[in-house]
Chains A and B, each alone.
Chain A
């Protein structure tokens, strides 16, 4: 509780108990990941007999070498990189332009259009996915990068976030420039956009993570093996799991697929925390 002063008077049994419970919960959070990482360093033959084998040597890097050497996994990884970066750049451009427009300019129908965008926030992907799939078939967009990237660009959340952010920038900043007859675009580009870098970072990290982890749309849109993303690619290899053929190999893939997002998380924690707490980091 905020009242640190309450606990300071005399350390209570309650406080100790809370810390113990939190540590226990944290162990439960970490244990499955630790187990997977440990398995990924073991030879498959050994794991077939008994997964308790993780507690003693020999350990091996063979599974990771197999992942890197396997033609598909590397291609999937590259696809994920292309799709995630494409979507992130696209969302940042569209949301910044629209956020500026909605927050600081006037044009006929602005308020109605903004409400329409907010309604978009309430529409879950599943409500549109069947029709979207059909439209993309007609346009022959399946199994292409645009086919994977485009649906992510229709994200109203980015516009909402950027509009809020642009509204908070002091009016004086661009008014002076306007009186000097600078064009609206140059004001946007040179004066306002530099002010929004923290919000861009927040939105960018979130879009990237969302794109990297997206499952449903890549699953139905990219049906050719070479167009899988790392997320759907690894999923496609999970099916023969029960036979535990190549358990260590599978676990190495999980580590390989999970590591980039965990690293992004470590580097951009500040922006992630800001975004989920509902305020852009400053």
Chain B
């Protein structure tokens, strides 16, 4: 038994968590509630507005640019999230060994993750820019025709997705590596005795063993990629013809460029709801599958 004095519940003990809780309440909880309220008002940047009920939301859902931005964001999530999961897993499988080569490679694939969005977009604009860009040069050497990636409505979003994949591939790779290293080696030894083929081992042993991490990667990436902003703002300004305008860029423009704060707040509520829904759906689906096993 532990001493009673040491473990008594005491209000004074709460003093350790108070500083954080104060900051947390003022900067997260209150803004969250305030934002929900703001979305029901007509307000500008400088003070509380007047209550207008759901008017902002009905304006929002009548706005083609907003609806387009939701479609764009979903398209971007569909482009990137599966790619992150598949490429991340492939890299982790290839680099899950204790060799110097693997260590160096891991460091290379993670390095781009520590760059800021500004540097990443500078790098990739100089890759995609017509005539003088890296791809233009490569296409030129190969005798291929020039392509203006960022000014094509069809290619702008895929180009942003490629830059994003390049930027963020390190995180899923590391998560998968951590999971692979948790798999006990005996399982593989047993499989090797059975003369199991590589693909069979992957399919029947490795993948089931890391399914939790797979779901985690999907959820984390979904949440992250729904927040697409900097790449689209800096690479294409949402263009051409709104083809690459994501929801957060819409929030930014409405709230901080047009100063329609109520509408901006309403948009961010919708985005929040979308992210929560996407994460919940994945979580529930994964849960159900696990139970049915």
Interface residues of A (CB under 8 A from B): 1-6, 14, 18-19, 21-22, 25-26, 28-33, 35-36, 39, 47, 50-52, 93-95, 97-98, 100-102, 105-110, 113, 116-117, 120, 122-135, 137-138, 150-151, 153-154, 156, 159, 171, 175, 178-179, 184, 188, 209, 212-216, 219-220, 230-232, 234-235, 238, 241-242, 244, 247, 250-251, 253-254, 257-258, 261-262, 264-265, 269, 272-273, 276-279
Interface string of B1-36 (1 = CB under 8 A from A): 011011111111111110111011011111110110
Q: Which 5 A-B pairs have the closest CB atoms?
A: A101-B16, A277-B178, A213-B116, A131-B35, A154-B27
Taking A265-B114, A276-B174 as contacts, is the C-beta distance between A131 and B198 under 8 angstroms?
no
B54 CB-CB contact with A under 8 Å: no
CB distance from A280 to the nearest CB of B (A): 13
Encode B25-59 as 1/0 by CB contact (under 8 A) with A: 01111111011001000010111000000000000
Q: CB distance B28 to A154 under 8 Å?
A: yes
> Do B178 and A209 touch across chains, with their CB atoms under 8 A apart?
no
CA–CA, A110 and B17, complex, Å: 9
10 CB < 8 A contacts A-B:
A29-B108, A52-B137, A109-B14, A126-B229, A126-B271, A128-B28, A129-B251, A138-B46, A238-B122, A265-B114
Interface contact A1-B198, CB-CB below 8 Å: yes
B175 proximal to A (CB < 8 A): yes
Residue of A nearest to B7 (CB): A106
- Bound Cα distance A251, B123 (Å): 8
For the complex, give the distance between the alpha carbons of A258 and B26 in Å.
32
Q: B11 to chain A: which residues have CB within 8 Å?
A: 107-108
On chain A, the residues within 8 Å of B227 by CB distance are 124-126
Apart from A117-B20, A215-B116, list 12 A-B contacts with CB within 8 A.
A3-B192, A32-B127, A105-B16, A106-B8, A120-B24, A134-B46, A175-B2, A175-B3, A214-B116, A277-B177, A277-B178, A278-B178
CA distance A139 to B23 in the complex (A): 15
For A95, list chain B residues within 8 Å (CB): 20
CB-defined contacts of A4 to chain B, threshold 8 Å = 97
CA distance A91 to B119 in the complex (A): 25
Is B32's CB under 8 angstroms from A113's CB? Answer: no
Query: Interface residue count for B (Cβ, 8 Å)?
Result: 106
- Pick the residue among B29, B123, B177 that contacts A33 (CB under 8 A): B123
CB of A215 within 8 A of CB of B117, answer yes
B60 at the interface (CB under 8 A from A): no
A51 lies within 8 A of B132 (CB): yes
